[in-house]
Amino acid sequence: MTANKSTTINDVAAASGVSRATVSRALSGYGRISKETVDHVRAVADSLGYRPNALAVAMRAGKTKTIGLVVISDFTNAFFDRATKSIIDRAKELGFRVLIQHSDEDVAVERVAVETMLSNQVDGIILVPASKTKHSHLTPKKIGGKPVVIIDRRLDIPRFTTVTTGDEVAAEEAVAYAAENGHKKLGFLIAVPGTTGFTSEEPEIPITSVQERVDGFAKGVTKAKASALWIYSEDKQEIAEAAVEKLLDSPKAPTIIFTSNNDMLLAVLKVAGDRGLTIGKELSVVSFDDSPWAAAMVPGITVVARPVEELGHIAVTELVEAIEGNTKPKEIVLPANLIKRSSVANLLKSK
């Protein structure tokens, strides 16, 4: 017989000379049915090119072996790119597939993404929340009791297992390192979702990881007794570059700029290049999140590196445990580490 992509279970039943229910049992491996019938039905199904609906089969077993992952939309972001790969790889090891939606750092979009995941009957969800306070769509009733693991950020109500990194401590350490190298005029370029343009006044920061970096940087400034210029920017390249220009044109221009993510770092590098400033000499820089290009640059960029692969691995492991019945929420914080490269000049040596 000729294979047909539109072949249905009814076609297999007709060609096999048995009932639809018998075909379903034979192909799914359940119920009382002889081996001869099973072999016959499967041979007919193969000859017709019939493939059972994997989701329907899984749902009959009570699980779809599917995880829903809701992340921000920018997969060029080194952190989320690597986290997503780690989550997919670990899920595959445990026999799960992953459906991916993005939130674009918008709570309304996140709400729809979660609803889409639930309508696809995922067994659980891994979520990067767009807001620490706006999460009414994540109540146990709204998510149908499905397990959820929050990564990278936290909600203001500790309802689910969270897997985050120690950004505040690492940010403070980064400032201390700059101070040890003689930097007393510090600049900070912080990407804040929901911000339009840029401002020197701290806005409401909707996500905990960014707030922790700001708090850590601020503690470091106080301990170092340094002067600091702060710019909070919309996460758009042209706006971030304008923010860097403002920092460098200040009467108290910083000798070092700390950036909250790779996108802000790229803005600093672009403006420095346009101005002919040599990184690690005329302008120093430290950023959050490592990447292959940050290490490969000359000079290499000093970064606060977060254990991305480990975070993704743990998130999937915890979610699968919850799917299997271990539902006690945990708060897991992985250490972030300062990787010292050559982008921070030692101003004490030049004196």
Q: What would the pLDDT profile of 142-193 be if each residue is shown by its tens digit?
A: 998 899 999 999 999 988 999 999 999 999 999 999 999 999 999 999 999 9
Count of residues in the chain: 351
> Is 351's pLDDT higher than 60?
no
pTM, two decimal places: 0.82
Rounded to an integer, what distance in angstroms lies between the CA atom of residue 42 and that of residue 133? 53
Question: How confident is the model over 262-283, as pLDDT tens digits?
Answer: 999 999 999 999 999 999 999 9
pLDDT of 57 reads: 56
pLDDT digits 0-9 by tens, 191-218: 999 999 999 999 999 999 999 999 999 9
Find the mean pLDDT for residues 18-37. 80
Higher pLDDT, 310 or 102: 310
CA distance 87 to 95: 12
The domains spanning 66-165+308-334 and 167-306 adopt the same CATH topology = yes
Higher pLDDT, 7 or 112: 112
* Pairing, β 227-233 against β 256-259: unpaired
CATH code at 66-165+308-334: 3.40.50.2300
Give me the percent of the chain exceeding a pLDDT of 70.
93
**φ, ψ for residue 204, nearest 5 deg:** -70, 125
The fold of 9-52 is 434 Repressor (Amino-terminal Domain) (1.10.260)
Q: 50-61, pLDDT tens digit by residue?
A: 876 655 555 555
Q: Measure the CA–CA gap between 227 and 246, rounded to whole angstroms.
A: 16
Q: Where are the domains of the chain?
A: 9-52, 66-165+308-334, 167-306
SS3 assignment for the chain? CCCCCCCCHHHHHHHHCCCHHHHHHHHHCCCCCCHHHHHHHHHHHHHHCCCCCHHHHHHHCCCCCEEEEEECCCCCCHHHHHHHHHHHHHHHHCCCEEEEEECCCCHHHHHHHHHHHHHCCCCEEEECCCCCCCCHHHCCCCCCCCCEEEECCCCCCCCCEEEEECHHHHHHHHHHHHHHCCCCEEEEEEECCCCCCEECCCCCCCCHHHHHHHHHHHHHHHHHCCEEEEEEECCCHHHHHHHHHHHHCCCCCCCEEEECCHHHHHHHHHHHHHCCCCECCCEEEEEECCCHHHHHCCCCCEEEECCHHHHHHHHHHHHHHHHCCCCCCCEEEECCEEECCCCCCCCCCCC
- Per-residue model confidence (pLDDT) at position 2: 43
From the list 42, 63, 12, the residue with the least C-alpha distance to 323 is: 63
pLDDT of 1: 41
Q: Which CATH superfamily is domain 167-306 in?
A: Response regulator (3.40.50.2300)
- What is the mean predicted confidence (pLDDT) over 72-84? 77
